[in-house]
A and B are shown apart, each in its own frame.
Chain A
Amino acid sequence: MPNQPDLQLWLILFFPLLGALINGTIGRRLSKGVIGTIAIGSVALSFLWVARALSELGQLDSPHIERYFNWITSGDLKIGFDLSIDRLSSIMLLVVTGVGTLIHVYAVGYMDHEEGFWRFFSYLNLFMFFMLILVLAQNFLLLFVGWEGVGLCSYLLIGFYFLEKFAGDAAKKAFIVNRIGDFGFSLAMLLIVVHFGSLDMTEVFEAARKMPIEASGGVLTTVALLLVVGACGKSAQVPLYVWLPDAMAGPTPVSALIHAATMVTAGVYVVARSSEVFLKAPIAMEVVAVIGLITAVVAALIGTAQNDIKKVFAYSTVSQLGYMFVALGVGAFSAGIFHVVTHAFFKALLFLGAGSVIHALHGEQDLSKMGGLKSKIPITYGTLMIGAVAIAGVWPFAGFHSKDAILLAAHAHAPWMYWVGVFTAGLTAFYVFRAIFLCFFGEYRGKAHPHESPAIMYMPLVILALLSVAGGYLPVMDWLAPLYPAHEEAHDLTLIMISVAFAFGGIFMAYFVYVLNPGSADGYAKSLGGIYRAIAGKFYVDEAYDVAIVHPIEHGSRSVLMNGVEEVVVEGGVNATVAVSRSVGGALRFLQAGNIRSYALYVLLGAVIFLGVMAAGGGIR
């Protein structure tokens, strides 16, 4: 690859890092205005630099790679600090920095009354740094650095209100569950090194391209499946999704940025990036599609019974990520990425809007204590409504285009997938509008005095709303088309109509249950009995994990490691060393009699020994 003009890609990473360092070290003494400016400014600068780089690169027919320095050299393996932009990462870069900037602006307003303002923005900028490393990385190891880094920042930010126990627990849960995924990713990397001898993506994908399609298991399938394990952890798919709903313990901008628009899409990004590997491993692709489908349905079902507005949107995120996985699994990579983009718009909008509602109600998050807010906080209402319509998949809003692309591709692959997807779309519309209706319609059931958010908070909402409306017309799929094999998509009008019909059906059902007959929901819930309880109890997945995994590990740790190994081996070893040391010292103490004459005796003894050695050695000369 000839070295193209040096665009200083590292600056994209550097601006947020600088912001994080400044805010992290001296932020405590800076005023809120300064902190906010530094935080927003650094991300905005990144965005501008990305824009500049892309404008200079033009068509990006081949990736632009910049190699900075040799990071690890071990035998034949060389891993450098290499950044690259190609068509896929350019889209992710724009989304991450663009939506990131908007959320930073919003957060300055939202976090205004919070302690640790400087700490929040330091972490947020640090997150941007790691996410950008992830996106820009040219080799798997550097990507993993970003991967782990965003996991760390996610932990720091979820546990931001560290004085609350549930926040700390949620942060730990997120980190630990992610770790399981990371383990899969590490194994994938090791396998790649062993088989391909390099971690550089260009080299690996070149080699993969030349290999035959694996009908049954093989190296590529194993690598792909291990990557999927990692992606399941990061992108909250079954069975590693349990951390995402709990992650709502963090401040709302965090939920919007990390757990909706950027970090959780990292798994999707990695799979899309490694399309060469996946295309040669059809088994893995099937697995991906099935996992995505199951996740989409299960999460949508759970979302219908949640009472916390943020949890509804959290499960919605899990469900939408499932859609993206379905797209990847059936081979419609560009459709999956398209959905990443549109999802970033409307999910960030939904979360930020929810944050605006929570802010208006001074911290209330329970849907049962909301209601009738559409007249009191109109701007929030308007933008949230747009977001809801977008996610429901109604034409011409953004969600319609991307979701339909996925559904059509699914139908082309296997019709049953299409039907499950369409049913889930209906559920999506239902639970989103349930939340909207419970929140904004009817009578106000709470006790606070709602007021509209300040401009710094609703401006990003407006911008995101515009993007949610028009985003469907961004030529993302055309831009990505050269990267992936052509996909014959029958532009079947019937299928599209059916999906829109399901969407409207969901909206109408929600309207019927929650607006026309308020209070009837409880009646329906009771009649569904056991099924409803299972759904409301999140299918008891958390409890199952607790019994099967968490408790045994805790018990085992306590009995075997703490009482056994720690007491006997470690403590015992240390104490034994101390005892030996003390006894030897005690014995040697008698030499120090304080008696000068015995010292002289020892000197004489030494001299005698010396002479003896000399005599034994044959004297002088």
Chain B
Amino acid sequence: MTDTASSPKPPAPSPPLSSPPGSSPPGFSPPGAADERLAQVGVLTTILKRPDTGAFIGAVAVFLLFAWTARGVNWAGDPGIWSTWLNTAAYDGIVAVPVALLMIGGEFDLSSGVMIGSSGLLLGILTTKADWNIWPSIVVVLLFGLAIGFVNGFTVVKTRLPSFIVTLGTFFMLRGLNAGLTIKITGGVSINDIDKAPGFDFAHKLFASTVWNKYGLAVPVVWWLGFTLVAAWVLSRTRFGNWIFSVGGDPVAARNVGVPVARTKILLFMATSLVASTWGIMTAVALRGMQSNEGVGREFEFIIAAVVGGCLLTGGYGSVLGAAFGAMILGMAQIGIISSGWDSNWVYFFEGVVLISAVMLNTAIRRRAERAR
């Protein structure tokens, strides 16, 4: 496990990676941090204090649980089953990456789920109704994602309304557009035959093929890994990463030390919508079509992955790597229940138990580590 995403709030003392980079202005660390840094802390405490430790332990525990309950289908040893739950995890994990950053920055985006559908439908309309090549269509869809993200962020920053409300409004508007415009343009609630667009084959290779054909490991897993590594690097190694923590922790203090709070938040909203659009494109290419309901309700899975991964609902604390573990827990839970042959009517119940346990574990570990300090 690389040290990717410590928060400055309890600064991890020993590994050099986690201290704020030299380029950031002084005064970034919360008051009192300088003193703590001098204290001697054991390696175990250092690990336990990481926001993603709880999620990692939770992921291992859930894996072991299903390795036992689904031993009949060789849950632990069959790479095909690994692929199944890793694919499922990637489908949640890709968008959970920017959602985690946004939550660390102190905001929510409830429109991230429905953006998947909007983007896929837009891609479908451009390729099948306007007969565009798929690549310019993809560029337009990504610009659309950036624009929606900008509107979200700008509205939140300018009106100072809670992002929960602003993006809930965006959610409903996009949902209405998805149904209304699709029916108006196609006469149906779905768009088909995206694969007839020129350039589709390469797009399919890039977004929707398998990297390990024998076991069905899907390309999105690679994208997920890539997004996670990039975001973890940004969060822990760049000035912008420090800005994210500071605007989520205390925006007033952040502004006082010169952090461009508005710009940071708007960029985070834009990143979230951009990645949701990317996933919408990938879904549309994979399914060779799109129906207007796609993505609705998924925003909670992204938020859950981030929260299970150690992000605080209040902002200022969290980890991208943790969100990846959170997505793995969700993926394993969804597949493991089926692999274990449990009555699928209990899916919701089990997911609830997993979530509460994971978050409780997170909190318990964090409190214990903070006491140990």
- Whether A associates with B in a native complex is no
Chain A residues with a Cβ under 8 A of chain B: none
B residues apposed to A, CB below 8 Å = none
